[in-house]
């Protein structure tokens, strides 16, 4: 297990370095950030002065190494457009994005696993119905779902707010109400994916000889499912849940724009449109750190549930 975790940590560090370097170098290929900051009416002298002020007159490799060394010490720099500390700006936006993503992941896991387990056990028309719902969940665009939910529950029935976000510490009830529509919008495809994977994993385990032997000895179906089937079917389902979290994190950055949520998505899009390289770089780094952390947790849980994985 120690060797397994060591390999995963090395891979995680390598991924962070590669993604941060690619982002930094690709941002350097964009049009002159000084023009985006000063506007189209800026003179060549003003642009040259702004480039020197931002350090853009230096080669890109030394600039990246300086940024990387500062990032390792927790300093993500200062925004080129607002003058605010990038780490502080991300710190105020990250809870919104994590609230949306984590809540959507829990909803996807609960409904997806329940539907998949039900379909694997019942088979027949139930199985076919869940399969149809899963295909529909994959096919329906999330934007279309969001528009329908807002039109019904926010505009017509006036049950839920159409936009905005209320912090959890301010009002737990209003916090939950502000997340219902965004979570429902991005959770549809996730529920479909987890339901399909859970159904396939459980159905495969149910057909194994040892499960049939246990059932022939008179063990209750509930005990067989909880003690034997779910333990063997959980690792593949857990992997899909981890992948769905990553997908939901990317989807949350877009959904935040639709529902006017002040998360990392609004910060990243605003910074990109204004050529605010330090903020974009900071958002990318933090997002990758979240993804890497989730992957490590999933790998650890999978290794505990399936010792053979930890030996690879």
For residues 178 and 176, give the distance between their C-alpha atoms in angstroms, rounded to a whole number. Answer: 5
Average pLDDT over residues 227-233: 73
Instruction: Give the pLDDT score at 7.
Output: 81
- pLDDT score of 154 more than 60: yes
- pLDDT score of 52 more than 80: yes
Three-state secondary-structure class, residue 235: helix
- pLDDT score of 287 more than 80: yes
Three-state secondary-structure class, residue 311: coil
Tell me the β-bridge partners of 78.
85
Average pLDDT over residues 228-251: 80
Mean pLDDT of the chain: 83
For residues 118 and 198, give the distance between their C-alpha atoms in angstroms, rounded to a whole number. Answer: 10
Instruction: Give the pLDDT score at 88.
Output: 92
- pLDDT score of 312 more than 60: no
> Do residues 124 and 163 touch, judged by C-beta distance below 8 A?
no
Q: How is the chain split into domains, by residue range?
A: 89-275
89-275: what CATH class?
mainly alpha
The string of DSSP codes covering 116-176 is HHHHHHH-HHHHHHHHHHHHHHHHS-HHHHHHHHIIIIIIIS--S-SS----TTT-HHHHH
For residues 169 and 151, give the distance between their C-alpha atoms in angstroms, rounded to a whole number. Answer: 28
Three-state secondary-structure class, residue 39: coil
Task: Read off the pTM.
Answer: 0.82
pLDDT tens profile 181-195: 999 888 888 888 888
pLDDT bin (cut points 50, 70, 90) of residue 147 is confident
Tokens standing for residue 305: 């549930």
- pLDDT score of 310 more than 60: no
- pLDDT score of 307 more than 70: no
What Å distances lie between residue 102 and 247, 252, 254, 256, 286, CA to CA?
Answer: 12, 10, 16, 14, 16
Tokens standing for residue 98: 């994590």
For residues 206 and 135, give the distance between their C-alpha atoms in angstroms, rounded to a whole number. Answer: 23
For residues 181 and 159, give the distance between their C-alpha atoms in angstroms, rounded to a whole number. Answer: 11
Three-state secondary-structure class, residue 74: coil
Return the higher-pLDDT residue of 123 and 147.
147
- pLDDT score of 308 more than 70: no
Tokens standing for residue 29: 């290929």
Residue recorded with tokens 């999933």: 298
Average pLDDT over residues 93-107: 91
Question: Is the dihedral angle over the CA atoms 60, 63, 69, 73 positive or is it negative?
Answer: negative
Instruction: Give the pLDDT score at 90.
Output: 92
* Long-range contacts of 217-221, Cβ-Cβ distance < 8 Å, separation of 24 or more: 221/121
> Do residues 224 and 214 touch, judged by C-beta distance below 8 A?
yes
Return the higher-pLDDT residue of 115 and 42.
115
Q: How many residues does the chain have?
A: 312
C-alpha 262: how far from chain center: 16
Tell me the β-bridge partners of 85.
78
For residues 273 and 261, give the distance between their C-alpha atoms in angstroms, rounded to a whole number. Answer: 18
- pLDDT score of 244 more than 80: yes
């Amino acid at each position: 297990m120690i060797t397994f975790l060591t390999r995963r940590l090395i891979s995680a560090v390598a991924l962070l370095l590669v993604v941060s370097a690619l982002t930094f170098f690709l941002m350097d290929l964009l049009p002159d950030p000084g023009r985006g900051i000063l506007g189209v009416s800026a003179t060549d002298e003003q642009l040259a002065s702004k480039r020197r002020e931002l350090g853009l007159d230096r080669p890109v490799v030394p600039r990246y190494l300086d940024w990387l060394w500062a990032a390792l010490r927790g300093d993500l720099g200062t925004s080129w457009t607002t003058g605010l500390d990038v780490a502080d700006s991300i710190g105020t936006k990250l809870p919104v994005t994590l609230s949306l993503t984590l809540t959507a992941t829990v909803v996807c896991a609960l409904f997806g696993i329940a539907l998949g387990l039900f379909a694997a056990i019942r088979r027949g028309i139930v199985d076919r119905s869940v399969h149809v719902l899963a295909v529909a969940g994959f096919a329906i665009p999330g934007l279309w779902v969001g528009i329908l939910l807002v039109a019904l529950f926010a505009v017509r029935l006036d049950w839920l707010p159409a936009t905005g976000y209320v912090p959890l510490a301010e009002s737990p009830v209003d916090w939950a109400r502000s997340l219902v529509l965004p979570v429902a919008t991005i959770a549809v495809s996730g529920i479909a994916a987890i339901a399909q994977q859970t159904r396939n994993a459980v159905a495969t385990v149910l057909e194994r000889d040892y499960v049939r032997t246990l059932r022939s000895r008179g063990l209750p179906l509930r005990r067989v499912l909880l003690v034997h089937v779910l333990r063997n079917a959980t690792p593949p389902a857990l992997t899909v849940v981890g992948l769905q979290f990553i997908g939901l994190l990317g989807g949350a950055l877009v959904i935040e724009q639709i529902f006017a949520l002040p998360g990392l998505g609004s910060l990243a899009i605003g910074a990109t449109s204004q050529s605010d390289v330090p903020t974009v770089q900071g958002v990318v780094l933090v997002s990758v750190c979240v993804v890497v952390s989730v992957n490590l947790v999933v790998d650890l849980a999978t290794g505990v549930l399936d010792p053979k994985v930890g030996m690879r």
